[in-house]
Structure 1
């Protein structure tokens, strides 16, 4: 028997992308989460699954438009007509799943909660308890039903588990307790990076986000196809995302001219192109030479290199220092001191306060691109850019 498991659709949550400056590309990218949903439904029908399992955060609290709910209902209707059940739980972003305010979604869709924590589908017991408020500080696991003897047992849970970088603790639960609860499969949600955890009797999967929304959510989004039979439980990742944010490393140290540098950049971008989804590329350029003092020129060279490459756009260009190339001396000592200072709690707190001031002064759509959760990456990139400029003379012009 097969199930398709997904979570964290964040339907209609805006992509934070430099590509949105291009009106044609913006129209394509802004519908990326809906396209991921449509691909999810098509995959479920093609794989002839017994049910689609949605482990919370189908919506996004920052996007309260009921048209998002209509879009979801339209796609779930395709599942219902194909005889495929949809079983879901509420996550911390799912205000639009409020039956009392908006009514039921679609025939064949079941939202599990404390009042109805279990649904039986073709001899499989599916258990779940969703969020009843925006934040749940304690584990929901003690409220889950015990495994039903003689049946395959699946659990849906929206949880931060033991914690993850960039994610606040929501319904925290230890992996050991989860795997020891007696279920065969745990369909998890909340953390946007895919991973699996397995014991002798249980498989737990965090499927990741189906469509990344910014450069911090790299790779192509996916769902997980689950197959359960006499041989146990197996899981396979199924790609869904219409846009993948990728980091591409480019070394220009051996380039002798501006033209050679642009060709190396173009070659790296061409190798990243994919036929079935768009690439939002963040370039990390080493050995930039005099380009380190001309960040705008480096950005322009990269964008020009992209013009002839279908399905690839430049999200950002970062000039990265190469510590092994810094000759001993004042610059090397200064670089070491700056890195040491940047790793202190005081520096990080000061950077967060400064970022907060900037975000307050920015238009909301611009501020979205500077997420406080990305502060460590922003500090590292800024430090690399400064060191790269200090070491211009150490690299070929």
Structure 2
């Protein structure tokens, strides 16, 4: 055992002991409160985040000047693994700590950092990301939400859609067009906004799972002080790239339900020649899921190493997000197929794992859209990592207000 291995072993034992001594078990919640969005589940997540912050485990790999503890990427990965082992798969603070705050820290001013970092790390506020629009699809740079200068303020009008947790969020990171007379990427600016500001109307979207995690957000004459601008005027796309990279890092590093949960859910389910968990075909799939899960852990560790050194992870984050989203959908669909009649039970009091796979199979298609569609991610990998020729762009260099609309 090397010195590094020994240190990791000691750290893992320390983390495991701390988690066992400080965490509540989400499985002890009533069955109908064990899913994301349930009030008791959220209260437990918020208390856990505060406890982690107090002990220095909330943002281990963040540099100290960011409010982190200056730990290593390996330590961050170990803590996440131990959280997963303890079923502490809370995602409420992922958008704030994993996506929005790194961009505010990198591109915002000291007043923003002083105001937001501490409360966010302690779980005292929630963030959302206001990027996607009805007319934009994957073309984030085609945003039509306008921000018009009015003295020391900006007046924002427009519509955002598919905004995760907007109905719970305290703050949002908003991408708006401040200059339509230049090329689309050059005319964008980024702002943070108070989600309770006058003129903001949030409408939850009901999903086929029955939940409402996504929202439409309408902005009508919302007054935003220029002091809430993140980065320079016209630098919105630069800030956007930071957030998208961190979003893919957060999603690719998030395990959620995986091969261990598949084994647990299928325990006792009969197969053609005995328990399905002993079936050779299933065990081959299980091996594939296991290998992919470990590949994701290694990708996440490498990206966290960059983050802990103060760098922003690059295009490589697209690999992790692409692999994670596809594996999640394939795993959930296959488990549901093998569950057979048990798979149609939606009552969390009766369904295996309180209906975790029933919810996941309905949510999984959306995972391949959020944070970049499969097609967008493959283009990023091809062009920025493999160096292949870029796709032709007919809008390159064309002023945004000269682009055709509705075609």
Smaller-chain TM-score bracket: under 0.3
Higher-Rg member (1/2): 1
Q: Which has the higher strand share?
A: 1
Q: Which has the higher helix share?
A: 2
TM-score (norm 2): 0.26
